Amino acid sequence: MSATPLKATPLNSVHRKMGAKMVDFGGWDMPVQYSGILDEHNAVRTAVGLFDVSHMGEIEFFGADAVALADWLSTNAASKLKIGQAQYSGLLYEHGGFVDDILVHKVADDHIFICVNASNQDKDFEHMRAHNPTQARVEFAGQRYAQLAIQGPKGLATLQRLTATDLSAILYYHFTSGEVAGVKARIARTGYTGEDGFEIYIAPEHAERIWNEVLNAGQEFGIKPCGLGARNTLRLEAKMALYGHEIDATLTPLEANLAWIVKFDKGDFLGRAALLKRKESGVQRKLVGFEMTGRGIARDGYEVLLDGSPAGWVTSGGPSPTLGKNIGLCYLPAGHAVPGKQIQILVRNQPVDAVTVPTPFYKRAK
Q: How far is the CB of 34 from another protein (least distance, A)?
A: 11
Q: Is 49 or 319 the residue whose CB approaches another protein more closely?
A: 319
Q: Is 75 or 232 the residue whose CB approaches another protein more closely?
A: 232
Q: Look at phi and psi of residue 349 and say left if phi exceeds 0, alpha if psi is from -120 to 50, else beta.
A: left
3-state secondary structure of 53: coil
Q: How far is the CB of 199 from another protein (least distance, A)?
A: 23
Cβ atoms within 10 Å of 195's Cβ, excluding its own: 22
Q: Is 45 or 272 the residue whose CB approaches another protein more closely?
A: 45
Q: How far is the CB of 223 from another protein (least distance, A)?
A: 19
Identify whether the C-beta of residue 123 lies closer than 8 Å to the C-beta of residue 100: yes
Q: Is 33 or 193 the residue whose CB approaches another protein more closely?
A: 33
Q: How far is the CB of 8 from another protein (least distance, A)?
A: 18
Q: How far is the CB of 297 from another protein (least distance, A)?
A: 5
Identify whether the C-beta of residue 241 lies closer than 8 Å to the C-beta of residue 258: yes
As a whole number of angstroms, the distance between CA 299 and CA 176 comes to: 38
Q: Is 37 or 114 the residue whose CB approaches another protein more closely?
A: 37
As a whole number of angstroms, the distance between CA 121 and CA 143 comes to: 11
β-pairing verdict for 57-62 and 137-140: antiparallel
Specify the length of the chain in residues. Answer: 366
Q: Is 97 or 296 the residue whose CB approaches another protein more closely?
A: 296
3-state secondary structure of 260: helix
As a whole number of angstroms, the distance between CA 27 and CA 355 comes to: 35
Contact residues toward another protein (CB under 8 A) are 21, 32-33, 36-39, 41, 229, 232-233, 296-297, 299, 318-319, 321, 326, 348
Q: How far is the CB of 212 from another protein (least distance, A)?
A: 25
DSSP 95-129: TS-EEEEEEEEEEETTEEEEEE-GGGHHHHHHHHH
